[in-house]
Amino acid sequence: MGMISKLTNWYFSRNALPYWGILLLDCLLVLCADFLVYALNNGVLFTLQHFGVLAGAFGFYLVFYIIGFRLFHTYSGVIRYSSFVDLQRIGFAMLTGLLLTLGVKYMLHSDEWLAPIRARDLGIAALLATALLWSVRVLVKFLYDSTYRQKRAKRVFIYGVKAGGVGLAKSIKNQESSSFVLTGFVSDHSDMPGRYLMGVKVYPNDENLVREMKRLKTKTLLVSPLKNDAIRNNPEMVGRLLEAGMKIRMDAGLQEWDGKSDLSHAQLKEVDIEDLLPREKIEVNLDAVKAQLTGKSILITGAAGSIGSEIVRQVAQFAPARLTLIDQAETPLHDIRLMMARQWPGIDAQTVVADICMEERMDELFAASRPDYVFHAAAYKHVPMMEDNPGESIRNNIDGTRVIADLSVKHGVKKFVMVSTDKAVNPTNVMGCSKRICEIYVQSLDKAIKDGKVAGVTQFVTTRFGNVLGSNGSVIPLFKEQIKHGGPVTVTHKDIVRYFMLIPEACKLVLEAGTMGSGGEIFVFDMGKPVKIYDLAVRMIQLSGAKNIEIKITGLRDGEKLYEEVLNEKENTQPTFHPKIKIATVREYDYADAARQVAVMVAASTTASDMELVRMMKAMVPEFKSQHSVYEALDK
């Protein structure tokens, strides 16, 4: 066995046998079959006496088998990666060669000028040669899989036994560059464990799974595309695997497998924490959104941010006539500019480095671009930063929103869509309160237009949701950086929870809510299940494979809540056109009063003290109660 292992390692570590080498081997096997069958039927001595004549005859007939090999490309593949399709080709090639041989034998009366050979012998020899060609390929593949590849490839289980799991298994077994060896399937169905699929056993998804994987020296679980949601919503299974040091690989893209497309194991990647957070698939009526946005002029503020840039990508797919993209961040906006030129060169996209609070500059942009839709995503969003700088929160978040909203009315924008936050509900910090004031301003302005108190046609829609995975302000990038540097991973409180949603999913809901709303609504998104940040940190450390990483509890930051609310305690919701989108019924404000209070705050933002500015904010939003902040003194 040691000698066989050395030989196979030597052979398979070299380049694949060239096509002419495979063709030569196949031809030799055909000739060997011919001589062997002839010798068995006519005697070995007689065969040796007429060897030269027989060699000429068999060599002549070999030409027709070579024609079959050429027609079906039997020598073009790599033997170690042979599949059932390759065996089929060999069968068809040998059948073609036999039919041509028999046809020539009788049409040209070859027995008269070549050695006489019976048709029965030619047929038996063709069958034997086919078996030999198949056997060589099966043997080489077996030696490759069992000796060479087994030592170098990762041993894997596949989670899922339906079409998705079987498709992955076929990919592993048949693809040339496969780096995996299949050792078992995992099934949730009670009738499958104990059975065999594609030569390996099916195991139940229970507490013994890790033990079975270890027994078979397997450290990786591949997830069928049909099982993505199942593993995301099974934290116990994920926990057992990660605690045992197992790796999980899955296709973590938003697009789920359609059940028909070819699967490739190369599409699977080792999961990040974002891939394993529980979430439900969100369906959006993109046709309705497309009908609204195609051919329109669209202005997007905060276009270089996490949410704004994704809105840019999704809107660009609907072929707008013009995009005006505004942000203060020069380098990220330049990246957006390059992306538009590369992916959507046919769209008139203008990237503008500007401050949305500069009203004259914004007025010029509105006059030039004449937007039909405005998506307002620009905002300061870091809670501790705004707690320390309430004046900037008022100037950028509140006054910036006022400027863009007023100009939308002035220039006849059809619809204004504002991106808000769940931190605006019962705010406990300056940032959340500033966003609530933005909501109040645009909602009261919408009502004033409908009531005829303000001349205009613009409909104002607000969308409110929680944390998005992968955003610049998300805790996940912070944890990754802390783990990279050996810890500690800092969590403010062991019981703190947050809602999470993928950026593309959140933006799809923004687009649908924004385009389908009739104005005045505050749309609230169903964020799914809340996630404990402490558990999130534990999972990320396990996924990283890092050892001895400490989790440090630092205490709640200024203005931070243990949990985010989606609705004010006095609010209720109404259903909408989408099960994941609800309308919040909130207290109405008079536009004149709201505009006056905003104007006073903005005017004072450069001169008044932080305490006085926050006092003004609390006067406008009575439910704003500070937590873990110096501004708590104002609530007494």
pLDDT band of residue 557 (cuts 50, 70, 90) is confident
Candidates 392, 390, 362; CA nearest to 376 is: 362
The edge-to-edge listing of strands for the beta sheet with 200-204 is 196-197, 200-204, 180-187, 154-159, 220-223, 247-250, 269-270
Strands 497-498 and 531-532, by their bridges, are: antiparallel
Average pLDDT over residues 40-45: 87
Rounded to whole angstroms, how far apart are CA atoms 548 and 525?
Answer: 38
pLDDT score of 186 more than 70: yes
Candidates 195, 185, 180; CA nearest to 160 is: 185
Contacts 24+ apart (CB under 8 A), 628-636: 628/555, 628/556, 628/557, 628/558, 628/559, 628/560, 629/387, 629/428, 629/429, 629/558, 629/559, 630/558, 631/387, 631/430
Angle at 502 between CA 499 and CA 505, to 5 degrees: 115
Q: What is the pLDDT of residue 469?
A: 65
pLDDT score of 71 more than 90: no
Looking at per-residue pLDDT, the higher value among 158 and 599 belongs to 599
Q: Work out the angle between the directed axes of helices 503-516 and 306-316 (0-180°, nearest 10).
A: 60
pLDDT tens-digit map of 563-573: 665 554 445 66
Rounded to whole angstroms, how far apart are CA atoms 540 and 374?
Answer: 37
HEC letters along 513-534: HHHHCCCCCEEEECCCCCEEHH
pLDDT tens-digit map of 84-121: 677 788 888 889 888 988 888 888 777 667 777 888 88
pLDDT score of 562 more than 80: no
Q: What is the pLDDT of residue 8?
A: 47
pLDDT tens-digit map of 277-313: 666 666 677 788 898 999 999 999 999 998 999 999 9
Strands 551-553 and 489-491, by their bridges, are: parallel
The mean pLDDT value of the chain amounts to 83
Q: What is the pLDDT of residue 83?
A: 65
pLDDT tens-digit map of 190-201: 788 888 887 788
Q: What is the pLDDT of residue 79?
A: 59
Distances in whole angstroms, Cα of residue 213 to Cα of each of 180, 238, 447, 513, 533: 14, 14, 62, 46, 29
Average pLDDT over residues 603-631: 93
Give the DSSP per-residue string, 1-51.
-HHHHHHHHHHHTSPPPPHHHHHHHHHHHHHHHHHHHHHHHH-HHHHHHTH
The tokens describing 205, both together, are: 């998804």
pLDDT score of 14 more than 60: no
Hey, CA dihedral for 621, 625, 629, 634, is it positive or negative?
Answer: positive
Average pLDDT over residues 616-621: 95
Rounded to whole angstroms, how far apart are CA atoms 126 and 123?
Answer: 5
Rounded to whole angstroms, how far apart are CA atoms 338 and 345?
Answer: 10
End-to-end CA distance of the chain: 84
Rounded to whole angstroms, how far apart are CA atoms 311 and 176?
Answer: 40
pLDDT score of 613 more than 80: yes
pLDDT tens-digit map of 117-146: 888 888 898 899 889 888 887 777 766 666
What pTM did the predictor assign? 0.66
pLDDT band of residue 258 (cuts 50, 70, 90) is very low
Rounded to whole angstroms, how far apart are CA atoms 263 and 255?
Answer: 13
pLDDT score of 257 more than 50: no
Rounded to whole angstroms, how far apart are CA atoms 616 and 613?
Answer: 5
Residue 556 DSSP code: P
pLDDT tens-digit map of 142-181: 666 666 555 556 788 889 887 778 888 877 776 555 578 8
Q: CB under 8 Å to 7, separation ≥6 — which residues? A: none
Give the DSSP per-residue string, 151-219.
HHSEEEEEE--SHHHHHHHHHHHH-TT--EEEEEEEESSTTSTT-EETTEEEEESSTTHHHHHHHTT--
Amino acid found at 290: K
Do 604 and 589 form a contact (C-beta atoms < 8 A)? no
Q: What is the pLDDT of residue 2?
A: 58
Looking at per-residue pLDDT, the higher value among 419 and 509 belongs to 419
Other CB atoms within a 10 A radius of the CB of residue 189 amount to 11
Q: What is the pLDDT of residue 442?
A: 95
Rounded to whole angstroms, how far apart are CA atoms 143 and 532?
Answer: 49
The tokens describing 522, both together, are: 């505050």
H/E element, 373: strand 373-376
